[in-house]
Amino acid sequence: MLKVGELKTLKDIIIKKCDEFASNVAFLEKDKKTKKFEEITYDKLKEDTVALATALVSKYKLKDKKVAVIGENSYKWYVSYLAVTTGVGTIVPLDKELPANEIENLLNRSKAGCIIYSSKKEDVIFEIKKKVSKDIIFINMDKEKSDDESLAFIKVIEEGKKCIADGDTSYIDYEYSDKDFRILLFTSGTTAQSKGVMLCHRNVIANLEGAPNLLKVYPKDRFFSVLPMHHIYESIVGTMYPLVNGASVAICTGLKYVSQELQETKPSIIVGVPLLLEHMCSKIAKTIKAQGKEALVQKMTKLTNSLGAVGYKLKKVIFKQVHQGLGGNLRTVLVSAAPVPKELIDNFEGFGINVLQGYGLSETAPVVAGTPEKNRVAGTVGKASNCEIKLDNIDEKGIGEIIVKGPNVMLGYYDDEESTHEVIVDGWFHTGDLGRLDDKGNLIITGRCKSVIVTPNGKNIFPEEIEDEINKFPEIKECLVYGEEKDDDTVISAVVTLDDEYLKEKYGKDVPEMSKIKEIIWEKIKELNKKMVSYKAVKNVKIRTTDFVKTTTMKIKRFLDSNKKGE
């Protein structure tokens, strides 16, 4: 298990950890031809990483330059990430869902000297190539031969191996400070235009050193990688943390294959977002219902819950079929990016699977707080992880803006000193999130500063609170609450999407018309309004027939005007 002070920079993962766990499996990746998962050892990871870094520096003169990487999750994606951060310069992970104009924009903003991409992005990359600097080097992860259009990833690694065989020691000789800028993350822009977050080795290592206080990981553990690797939550918590402990990472080939590949890889830990948990829970519930065991499961859950620690062990036996459906070895699910409904946590933990919640941001590399494996407090995201947490501008309810100080706080925003000084004041990073602390120091997230609806008479309304209640309606898939200014007043409005599966299950072929469904939802909202103070009452409801526009961590882009359209 990783110890404090063991890593000076991320390069130690390659020159120390890869040697320590040389024969262990680092990654499992499905072969495109055999359709079976192939094992990749730490020794192989080190060989490929050092070779790629050597070639990029010695042959392609990219030392201290920025290198972008884009594509679906893959072993080559992560080799690129490690090679650049530990022996070349600054990595710029890009969201594979971005349109061509945004990719072009971020390549220009970052002043990238190279982009490594998968074949699925080739058409977009070729479109961009005509518009960006001719000095940018293009490397295709999947092609077998280099040509005038792009270099082949495998050939670049071969070039690096030849350089090393000829005595090139540029990777080993490359030195830098743990405070040097080595990761450039462009935020998803849920509330504003994306900013470039600058991170250094110290930021990431602070998180890796604090993680064992929340979740202990051992070489026998296997993580299941399903979130996009460009997101720091996945790249650090879901991939780098297992690697520093000698564990393995199974790379999922897509959301629609989750159930199948859980069976094939048998992970012990999954890093995900609430939507993934909901998907898994829905599958479990349907299986239980199909078997006619709903009453039995409820009875056995209550029984094992009442038996404490002994009951936890019994759950693995009693709910063996549930565990087998998730691969058989799953013990923990790490969830972040959005609040997790208590009912969802209770469902999983009722079956004997821990659900640990985390809170963090790109600017904190990413973890700020997390719930530990033991002594968790429901409804909180736990205590600070290797940093300090305070609340600023606390109101009468004890709610204030969450501010953070510690080695995990970013260097600043790229080429944007003004924005940096706005959020980092006297060493404290102002998150823009609202929360309160319980009497034991556990953090409770209550909303976003920027999403707060302020009424004309000065009342503050946190839309997330209302959304949580509306999302409990079985007819609702997702909800967005916002304030509309009308006649010098603020009208609380909601836009919802429908849970088509539920409606089909309840009504069969006789699903009501949209107007009737809207009436059903409106009646439920009127009942909800009775339970809230008057100024929080929802006065208007719209139904969207398409999903909300979201970030890759499945957060609704709250301030996008098109999200508020509906019938």
Q: What is the residue whose two structure tokens read 């409820």?
A: 298
Whether the predicted model's global pTM rises above the 0.85 cut? no
pLDDT higher than threshold 90 for residue 386: yes
Kindly give the interhelix angle for 75-87 and 42-54, rounded to the nearest 10 degrees. Answer: 60
| Per-residue confidence (pLDDT) for residue 349, from 0 to 100 | 86
What are the tens digits of pLDDT across the range 481-531?
998 888 767 899 999 999 999 999 999 988 999 999 999 999 999 999 988
Q: Which residues contact 463 (CB under 8 A, 6 or more apart)?
A: 447, 451, 452, 453, 480, 481, 482
* Helix locations, 111-191, DSSP H: 122-129, 153-165, 170-173
What are the tens digits of pLDDT across the range 77-91?
999 999 999 999 999
- State what percent of residues in the chain have pLDDT above 70: 95
Taking residues 207-213, what's their average pLDDT?
A: 94
For the 11-23+33-200 domain, the top CATH level (class) is alpha beta
C-beta of residue 505 within 8 angstroms of C-beta of residue 480 = no
pLDDT higher than threshold 50 for residue 192: no
| Per-residue confidence (pLDDT) for residue 52, from 0 to 100 | 98
Q: Do domains 11-23+33-200 and 452-564 have the same CATH topology?
A: no
Give the rounded distance of the alpha carbon of 481 from its chain centre: 23
User: Which CATH number is 273-449 given?
Assistant: 3.40.50.12780
The rounded mean pLDDT for the chain is 90
Q: 3-state DSSP: the chain helix, strand, coil percent, rounded to 5?
A: 40, 25, 35
Enter the tokens of residue 164.
């090393």
| Per-residue confidence (pLDDT) for residue 490, from 0 to 100 | 84
**Domain ranges across the chain:** 11-23+33-200, 273-449, 452-564
| Per-residue confidence (pLDDT) for residue 176, from 0 to 100 | 85
Kindly give the interhelix angle for 294-306 and 342-350, rounded to the nearest 10 degrees. Answer: 90
Separation CA 10–CA 201 (nearest Å): 6
Superfamily for 452-564? Answer: ANL, C-terminal domain (3.30.300.30)
